[in-house]
Chains A and B, each alone.
Chain A
């Protein structure tokens, strides 16, 4: 019999926040990269490198926060490979990004062989006095770890950054028209390399969150497509920070609901439920490509194009 009452809404919302954090971090990072005009399909690879590096860092030092920083660094370093290939050697961004994913998955399982089956040191919770004692709201919002709040604060910060700051304007300009940005005198390559590395760092942090908080342990291939969902969220969000947050919650919620429904014994094949986030992605993409919504989904004009400073 279906027993939906076993799903507590407060617990559900609190765990949606946790479940969505890895893809939220990765998607905001990818949004920064794409705003600068670069399409990095290597999110999955950077996430899993972040997961394994973060895990190793936390186990070796005993500090999960140090682990998170190591994971972030790992993702950023891997993205630097992509940056060199695409920005200096003018490699094709799609092919390089796919290669980065495959390379990251392989390298991660190599690095992680000795670390399977261990439990990492637990991530401390931020116990915010008063706020965490609030009924419902406190139980949903204020009982989490610091990285989750980093993820939550990123979208509003980025919204401000791209809307009101000069640096954000320059990043957008480079993504819209790299020739013109170059003609005015901006260093297109340097700006893009920086954006790629920030994006890699965010993806790495998202991966570290998976192995340190969400699961928490290291298993091979544990990202299981989260990087691809992050990529889809950026398109779903039409490159807008607030919608990235919304998208991450939606997709995080779907993957969680799937587990909860299974636990509640809903008579739907497990396969359909595991499929649901991906089906939702496809549906959203179809919806966005329809004429009615197309004008809202303005991709940066130079997205995916190589830039070679001409004479």
Chain B
């Protein structure tokens, strides 16, 4: 596993990166933003506690920390979305107290949000106009074109943003920031939705920007990226600054340890023993229902007992549609779905559950869990069939409570109590509960979509370990994930889905990340484009 991640980092790096990093780490640069003893409390929690550090011009400064470490609160204070309780900021040596994002922008702070703050139904140019108040409407298209040419961020101003890919949408966000001529650019998890290729392009752009004297505050969970991109890193834990270090001199492991404050246990895969075929899809097709979803075309896959099959791909390439077709939530598909020797494509979701096929869909809040209901009620929702939690239509609350408590115990879910609403749990704990709920039903097969999205490192490892253990006990796992690292770590075979078409299964040992990247962007099928 370690070897694999080394190879991974090698492809991220092009040879001259190291050089750029070295030249950027100049001590004694002008300080763009100085934070001094910044604190902010919310009811019951001190989100930022006496935070001080400085961001220099011409540097990419990483801000690292687990979920809830105070990163986003801090960033919101810099961008004027929150007012600090105490502490002060200086921007270019002048006192800086942004009242709202508009004043922050006017003084030279720009931000690219994690969940894009774009307007899907509006065009690229209209999106830009909304954040540059003093730009005349007529000249905006030319400005966009010249800026996007300058930084190699290809955009066409008249396109509707909702029709663009995630990478293109991010380009819109970046160009929108550049239009404001910022001195500090804040980027919140910019690569989480990007492909390898898009990530490299982004890094190139960022280096070009810092060479012009802009400071970048870079928030990311991806430590390898931080190590290679960022000049310095400030690590937050529990609202406090733990350390400011040079990430190039650290390892991903040491950075992670600083973030978490304890040793991290990476998931371990023991002997893999594959059994007979457990699940098979042949010729599955789903027509697209609206203009925003993807049609699935002739999907074929099969999974054996004890196997973890990964499905890689960029968001919106048919993963959700595939999940819905397998779970039976959408039954307007053609083709066949077989579980062992039973054809199940005509069956309802609960009939499929009864046969031993269980599901953990992507969205914790809303799809997988009903967040205003208690953990007990949430346990009942998917497990009532297999765990016989109802008798003659009447809920057996005692056994349901016991089942919920069993999940909490076995999966180390930290929470105030099973009678509390699901929304009281942190993302990682709720996800552990939801995965545990399915695994403890002793299924023949689990289909899981994005199990570790927005989950902190420890919980993510626990979830991956649980999937591995489940496969070890002879169940089949279909793991749909946009996180290629996760798939490379635990999947036995990986298929890539692009534009609703699924590739042949590939072995993670013999396929390079670049090959996966090409498949994910569909470039391999379109050599004719030059």
Contact = CB atoms under 8 A, between A and B. Distances in A.
Partners in one complex: yes
Contact of A185 (B105, B121, B129): B105
A289 to B, nearest CB: 13
B53 to A, nearest CB: 22
Nearest to B106: A185
B80 A176 contact: no
B35 interface: no
Contact of B113 (A183, A298, A311): A183
A185 B101 contact: yes
A248 B302 CA distance: 57
A181 B119 CA distance: 8
Contacts of A186: 130
B42 A311 contact: yes
> Which of the four size classes fits the interface of chain A?
20 to 34
Interface string A170-184: 101100110111011
Nearest to A295: B291
B113 A176 contact: no
Given A169-B130, A173-B130, A294-B290, A185 B119 contact: no
A183 B101 contact: yes
Interface in A242-297: 294-295
A185 B120 contact: no
Contact of A179 (B105, B117, B126, B290): B117
Contacts of B116: 180
A263 B277 CA distance: 77
Contacts of A170: 130
A150 B120 CA distance: 33
B371 interface: no
Given A183-B101, A295-B290, A169 B126 contact: yes
A224 interface: no
A181 B101 CA distance: 11
B281 interface: no
Interface in A17-43: none
B75 to A, nearest CB: 11
A184 B112 CA distance: 11
B130 A301 contact: no
A134 B162 CA distance: 49
Interface string A151-178: 0000000000000101001101100110
B121 A166 contact: no
B123 to A, nearest CB: 10
B300 interface: no
B81 interface: yes
Contacts of B290: 294-295
B117 A180 contact: yes
Given A184-B101, A185-B102, A295-B291, A176 B81 contact: no
B336 interface: no
A170 B127 CA distance: 10
A170 to B, nearest CB: 7
Nearest to A172: B122
A173 B119 contact: yes
Given A184-B101, A185-B80, A311-B82, A298 B121 contact: yes
B486 interface: no
A307 to B, nearest CB: 14
Contacts of A294: 290
Interface string A2-16: 000000000000000
Contacts of A300: 121
Nearest to A184: B131
Interface string B118-150: 111110001001110100010000000000000
A166 B119 contact: no
A305 to B, nearest CB: 14
B291 A180 contact: no
A160 B401 CA distance: 60
A185 B180 CA distance: 14
Interface in B49-105: 73, 76, 80-82, 100-102, 104-105
> Which of the four size classes fits the interface of chain B?
20 to 34
Given A169-B130, A295-B290, A301 B121 contact: yes
A294 B288 CA distance: 13
A183 B118 contact: no
A183 B130 CA distance: 11
Contact of B121 (A176, A179, A183): A176
Nearest to A177: B119
Contacts of A181: 119, 130
Contacts of A301: 120-121
A294 B293 CA distance: 14
A169 B129 contact: yes
A30 B120 CA distance: 23
B81 A183 contact: yes
A298 B81 CA distance: 30
Contact of B100 (A176, A177, A185): A185
A81 B102 CA distance: 30
Nearest to B115: A179
Contact of B119 (A164, A180, A298): A180
A183 B114 CA distance: 12
Contacts of B100: 185
A184 B105 CA distance: 9
Interface string A34-70: 0000000000000000000000000000000000000
A300 B120 CA distance: 10
B117 A173 contact: no
A181 B122 CA distance: 12
B137 A166 contact: yes
Interface string B173-204: 00000000000000000000000000000000
Given A185-B101, A295-B291, A176 B82 contact: no
A183 B117 contact: yes
Contacts of B121: 172, 176, 298, 300-301
The interface centre, meaning the residue of B80, B121, B126, B290 with most chain A CB atoms within 10 A of its CB, is B121
A190 to B, nearest CB: 12
Nearest to B130: A173
Contacts of B129: 166, 169
B113 to A, nearest CB: 6
A252 B453 CA distance: 54
B101 A173 contact: no
B126 A180 contact: no
Contacts of A179: 117
Interface in A166-221: 166, 169-170, 172-173, 176-177, 179-181, 183-186
B24 to A, nearest CB: 29
B73 to A, nearest CB: 8
14 contacts: A166-B137, A169-B122, A169-B126, A172-B119, A173-B119, A176-B119, A179-B117, A180-B116, A185-B101, A185-B102, A186-B130, A295-B291, A311-B42, A311-B76
Interface of A: 164, 166, 169-170, 172-173, 176-177, 179-181, 183-186, 294-295, 298, 300-301, 311
Given A169-B122, A172-B121, 8 more contacts: A176-B121, A177-B118, A179-B117, A180-B117, A184-B117, A294-B290, A295-B290, A300-B121
Q: Closest 7 A-B residue pairs measured CB to CB?
A: A185-B101, A180-B117, A185-B102, A183-B117, A176-B119, A185-B100, A176-B121
Interface of B: 42, 73, 76, 80-82, 100-102, 104-105, 113, 116-122, 126, 129-131, 133, 137, 290-291
